[in-house]
Amino acid sequence: MDIQLVDWFFILLYIAVVFGIALKSRKDMHEGDRKTPDEVAQEKYMANKSLSFAESLCSIIATEVSALTFIGIPAFAFKNNFSFIQIYMGAIAARFVIAVVFLPRVYDKGLTIYEVMAKDTGLPSGQRAVAVFYSLSKVVSVGVRLFSGSIMVASFMGVDILTGLTAVTILTLIYIQIGGLKAVVRTDMLQMALFITGGLLAHYLIPKTSGQSWGELMAVAQAAGKTSFFDFTNPYPFIIGILGGFLFDMATHGVDQDFAQRLTANRRLRHGQYAIFFSSFISISVGLLFLSVGALLWAYYQSHPLPPNIESTEYLFPHFIVNYFPLGIRGIMVAGVLAATMSVLDSTINALCATAYNDIFPNRDRKKLEFYGMVDSVVIGLLILSIAVLASKYDGLLLLGLKAQSWTGGTLLALFFSKVIWKRFFNYQLTPVSVVGAYFCGMAGVFVNTQVLVWDWNLNVYWGFVLSSLFLKAYSALRPAAVR
């Protein structure tokens, strides 16, 4: 199918606006007196603690939603039902805990959350170990999200997925070199509006393309059980989903530097608390929006043949957009997916560069912050790209991305609780040995859950959290830290 100029106009307009915002943010960052390296780092990675409630809220939504929501959630509903919403429901209580318990203990206490964990009884090598494990797990989970967004870009451009992946990565790497966290957050607000608009347009255009009303299509899906999220005859999956979402969200939003910096970079603690709590309700709305897209697609394809040569259900929504949406609207949808992909990739690279600067390589020449930041961005981008290429061989992107985070999220949460929340009960020194031991036990718990007991993957975080906590408690008894 020929690519029409009107579609390209909207895509290029979006790219131009994004880079314009980044250039404006960079100009603001460099205005004024000459700054020390630490002051530059504060601006680049913490936006000089200038984020407003609205900026923080929109940035959280834009980062967590990603193209995995745009592509993966409709595919999940197409294959299953609305049961994925259970995770969002469990997140409400989790984000209340993050707002009330976590944030007051980390706000204004350090550049990264891992610096806070290493205070009092932590060695720089222990802080580095935590940051390295976090960075590796983050690269894996975000690599999946990069692939999911590149599906649409590749379909639209008529190129293979590797070319699409590379194009999105290069575009984001260039953009992130221009502006810091402030630019990321400002563009996140635009990106959030764009991909939600894309979801709303899908609700209008899928019924229009099918020749049936929205209500008729949803009635077909409902009759087939596609809109159900609770089975009264078997409430176990619902309970597991709620419980899994509770602890899982604490790990992803409470101790992940990517989200933590959006909260700790607020002008006031209360703004960050409000942002993380109210984001849970918006997340549910966005989740339902895209689950409904999957239900509409399923109903549509009950009376229309499935497209040939579709590798997996993740390709159905991109195929439908590229082939059936009108000119202009199609460009907006592609721009929406590109927005969602870039919002995750740019924020991840910014967060990982912050941990590289502050936690992993703290002894590098800080006067060369810009140079090292560029090198770190390129290396991180290439690693994420590599994972995305591997993910392209796997069906079921949504669960793959979430499962990757559940493998190590429980351990990171246990380390945080033991060093920040319950530190009076865990008197140990944060060292590479304690960190590696905690991760080994956490991964052993995930193995038991998934391979021995074969329980639901939502419980991975619980197994990782409990076994890592038990190890750290035993380590505290055997190797107590000296009282300062």
CB-hemisphere CA count at 13 Å for 427? 10
For residue 31, the model assigns a pLDDT of 54
Report pLDDT digits (tens) over 458-468: 889 999 999 99
Which pLDDT belongs to residue 68?
Answer: 64
Q: What is the mean pLDDT of the chain?
A: 85
Query: Rounded to an integer, what is the distance from CA 480 to the centroid of its chain?
Result: 36
Residue 276 has pLDDT above 90, yes or no: yes
Q: Does 354 have pLDDT greater than 70?
A: yes
Greater model confidence, 322 or 453? 453
Distances (CA, A) of 125 to 130, 230, 434, 484: 9, 47, 11, 19
Q: Which of 179-193, 304-318, 388-402, 418-432 has the highest mean pLDDT?
A: 418-432
139 pLDDT higher than 70: yes
Residue 66, pLDDT > 70, answer no
Q: What is the mean pLDDT of residues 343-368?
A: 87
**Residue 103 reports pLDDT greater than 90:** yes
Residue 67: band (very low, low, confident or very high) from pLDDT cuts 50, 70, 90: low
Which tens digit of pLDDT belongs to each residue from 145-201? 777 667 777 777 777 778 888 888 888 888 777 766 777 777 777 777 877 888 898
Asked whether the predicted pLDDT for residue 396 surpasses 80, the reply is no
Choose between 151 and 127: higher pLDDT.
127
pLDDT, tens digit, 9 for 90 and up, residues 298-350: 999 998 888 877 767 777 888 888 888 888 888 887 877 777 677 778 888 88
Spell out the SS3 assignment of the chain.
Answer: CCCCHHHHHHHHHHHHHHHHHHHHHHHHHHCCCCCCHHHHHHHHHHHHHCECHHHHHHHHHHHHHHHHHHHHHHHHHHHCCCCCHHHHHHHHHHHHHHHHHHHHHHCCCCCCHHHHHCCCCECHHHHHHHHHHHHHHHHHHHHHHHHHHHHHHHHHHCCCHHHHHHHHHHHHHHHHHHCCHHHHHHHHHHHHHHHHHHHHHHHHHHHHHHCCCHHHHHHHHHHCCCCCCCCCCCCHHHHHHHHHHHHHHHHHHHCCHHHHHHHHCECCHHHHHHHHHHHHHHHHHHHHHHHHHHHHHHHHCCCCCCCCCCCCHHHHHHHHHHHHCCCCHHHHHHHHHHHHHHHHHHHHHHHHHHHHHHHHCCCCCHHHHHHHHHHHHHHHHHHHHHHHHHHCCCCCHHHHHHHHHHHHHHHHHHHHHHHHHCCCCCCECECHHHHHHHHHHHHHHHHHHHHHCCCCHHHHHHHHHHHHHHHHHHHHHHCECCCC
Phi, psi of 430, deg, nearest 5: -75, 105
If you average pLDDT over residues 206-210, what whole number do you get?
92
pLDDT band at 390 (very low <50, low <70, confident <90, very high): confident
Instruction: Choose the most confident range, by mean pLDDT, from 5-19, 63-77, 123-137.
Output: 123-137
> How high is the pLDDT of residue 5?
82
pLDDT of res. 217: 96
Task: Provide the pLDDT confidence category of residue 34 given band limits of 50, 70 and 90.
Answer: low
CA nearest neighbour of 185 among 284, 46, 292: 46
- Mean pLDDT along residues 282-304: 93
Domain ranges for the chain: 5-395
What CATH number does domain 5-395 carry, 1.10.150.80, 1.10.10.10, 1.20.1730.10, 3.30.565.10? 1.20.1730.10
* 302 phi/psi in degrees, rounded to 5: -75, -25
Question: Can you tell me the distance from the alpha carbon of 396 to that of 246, in angstroms, rounded to the nearest whole number?
Answer: 22
Q: How confident is the model at residue 114 (pLDDT cuts 50, 70, 90)?
A: very high
Which pLDDT score, from 0 to 100, does residue 471 have?
97
